[in-house]
Amino acid sequence: MTEYDYWKIFPKMPKKVTIGDITVRDGFQHEEKFISTNAKIFYAQEMILAGAKEIEVTNLGNPAGIPQFRDAEQVLTALRGDAFKKRCERAGVKYDELVMTAVTIREPAVDTAIELRKKGIGPDRVLMMVSTDPEHHFANSGTTLTQYWKEAERCIKKAADHGMKMCGTVSTIWGSPITGATKLEDAVEFTKRFLSIGAHDIEHADHDGSASAAQVYRYFSMVLDAMPNPDAHLCHLHETKRVASASILAALQAGITRFEGTLGGLGGQPANFLDDCPVRGTGDYYYDPRFVGLITMEDLLVMIDELGIEHGYDVDRVLSLGRKMEKTIGRRLRSEAVINGRTLKEGHPEHARPGLAKLIQKVGEKPGQLVPPEWSPKAVLGEKWGPTAWKK
């Protein structure tokens, strides 16, 4: 007999997951208009109150290159303020359990995080990034991989000395937008390298939507075979072809328990234009100018929720925030769930046409009768049925 229980077919699939929100950082960095400081603070705080326990709040790199985050200190100040802590307390949110992350691709940004930490407003976690493709890595960081590994090793120790965790991102796992196909084995090895020099956890990133479900399942199975602690691994998927949801399911099947997304599927590389002025960003776009964002938080959350997997969010509150985000950005975003909502088990009885009960009574049927009474209780197939029965 076929096994119908999904969790018996995929015994590594979790019953509980953590979904981090990275809207305010990764989501906004791709926008070619400045998102107001008030909006950044609003969405960060509201997503925390809606259930986010892990949240990326800013990028501490040089504002000359990424002016979207020139307000980093203001955002952190608001998130560390007593007023927000009191809101969390009233809402039953355990503030001390929140993990706020700032991206710090290079050492000067790590030093900035340390200074902010000394002021009492610094992040709990910082992030550095390597790509298995040396060309993609150079486009991101301006260094060779050898140079960067030594820099990361120094920064991990610095961060730890000041009470900050380091997340190591491994990118171009399933392919590079510059050089094409890459080897999964290289990404597994880079993961080991990051953990061996003291990284707290690893973000496994598909930065341009190259991943397919089969390769995602294969990769995360390789990762968990080599480093069998799901808490150490975070799945970060971008979207170009509307297939990332399939890859999320594949990652779940492999045993991954940590994911992240953005409201509306916002995100991508730092923009090279802001408001009315060109900016450095990452220089000329180093992949085709496709519609590239992250997995949509709203749709991901609805999918996880309807699988019956525990996630800790107020889904309806997140959907409401997704609708507000479309007004903030000024265009229709990627989420289908903000339009179509959740699948309600109770249905929509208000849409039922009147008169069925009277018709049943009029024709002499019993309530709940589904087939003619003279038919057998269970359908019986003949020797030939379907296409076979139609063959001469």
Within a 10 A sphere around the Cβ of 311, how many other Cβ atoms? 16
Record the tokens describing residue 34, joined without a space: 């400045």
pLDDT surpasses 70 at 268: yes
Helix axis angle, 82-91 to 37-50, nearest 10°: 30
Q: Tens digit of pLDDT for each residue in 223-264?
A: 999 999 999 999 999 998 889 999 999 999 999 999 999 999
pLDDT attached to residue 345: 87
pLDDT attached to residue 241: 85
DSSP state of 23: I
Cα distances (Å, whole numbers) of residue 380 to 263, 367, 368, 373: 50, 24, 21, 15
For residues 376-380, average pLDDT: 94
The torsion angles phi and psi of 101, rounded to 5 degrees, stand at -115, 140
The model carries a pTM of 0.94
Please name each of the domains of the chain with its CATH number.
Answer: 13-340 (3.20.20.70)
Residues sharing a CB contact under 8 Å with residue 130, sequence separation 6 or more, in sequence order: 137, 145, 148, 149, 152, 168, 169, 170, 171, 190, 194
Percentage of residues of the chain with pLDDT beyond 70: 98
DSSP state of 270: P
The residue whose two tokens read 């969405």 is 43
Percentage of residues of the chain with pLDDT beyond 90: 88
Q: Tens digit of pLDDT for each residue in 331-374?
A: 999 999 999 999 888 988 999 999 999 999 999 999 999 999 99
Residue 358 sits at the vertex; the CA angle it makes with 356 and 364, to the nearest 5 degrees, is 105
The torsion angles phi and psi of 117, rounded to 5 degrees, stand at -65, -40
Record the tokens describing residue 119, joined without a space: 């002021």
CA 288 remoteness from chain centre: 22
Reduce the DSSP state of residue 179 to 3 states and report it: coil
pLDDT surpasses 70 at 267: yes
Query: Predicted confidence band at 149 (pLDDT cuts at 50, 70, 90)?
Result: very high
Sign of the torsion angle spanned by Cα atoms 222, 223, 229, 233? negative
CA 1 remoteness from chain centre: 36
Query: Predicted confidence band at 269 (pLDDT cuts at 50, 70, 90)?
Result: confident
For residues 75-97, average pLDDT: 98
According to DSSP H, which parts of 142-267 are helical? Answer: 145-161, 184-196, 213-226, 244-254
Residues sharing a CB contact under 8 Å with residue 140, sequence separation 6 or more, in sequence order: 105, 129, 131, 171, 282
Mean pLDDT for all residues in the chain: 95
Q: Tens digit of pLDDT for each residue in 103-145?
A: 999 999 999 999 999 999 999 999 999 999 999 999 889 999 9
pLDDT attached to residue 284: 73
Cα–Cα distance for residue pair 245/260, rounded to 1 Å: 12
Q: Tens digit of pLDDT for each residue in 277-301?
A: 999 887 776 655 567 899 999 999 9
Query: Predicted confidence band at 212 (pLDDT cuts at 50, 70, 90)?
Result: very high
pLDDT attached to residue 52: 98
pLDDT attached to residue 76: 98
pLDDT attached to residue 392: 77
Confirm if 239 and 293 have CB atoms less than 8 A apart.
yes
